[in-house]
Amino acid sequence: MAFTKAQIRDRASEMLGFNPTRQTLESNISTRIEESYDEVYEMLKDDGLAIWASTGSVPTVLVPFVSALVAQGCISLGTSNERIQLVESKAATAKKMIMRYTTPHYQSQEDAKDY
């Protein structure tokens, strides 16, 4: 199941500890997280890693990584040091994992040569 922008926003807010009870987010926090999503999408698009449309759903396999990058972009909103460390550790490998899942595996165009 793919995730929408709103679902990524909610997941990032949970990572940051802004929405532990899954209630409605404050509008300024919701707006900032959605802006962070747009920034992450553009960064991935520039790197050729955004394999979905900006208004489309994020493929399930990429959701944890995109959510971590989105949350990382919102750390300045203020959260505990524990949450910051959690988000930073997840975001540290997120782009590498996105690249792993979106880059096609190399296949040689030539037959193997037996020497």
Q: How many residues does the chain have?
A: 115
> In tens digits, what is the pLDDT along the chain, a chain of 115 residues?
688 999 999 999 989 888 666 667 788 888 999 999 999 999 999 999 999 998 889 999 999 999 999 999 998 887 788 888 989 999 999 999 999 988 876 666 666 666 6
CB neighbours of residue 100 within 10 Å: 12
Task: Give the number of other Cβ atoms within 10 Å of residue 7's Cβ.
Answer: 15
Q: Which tokens belong to 23? A: 């209630």
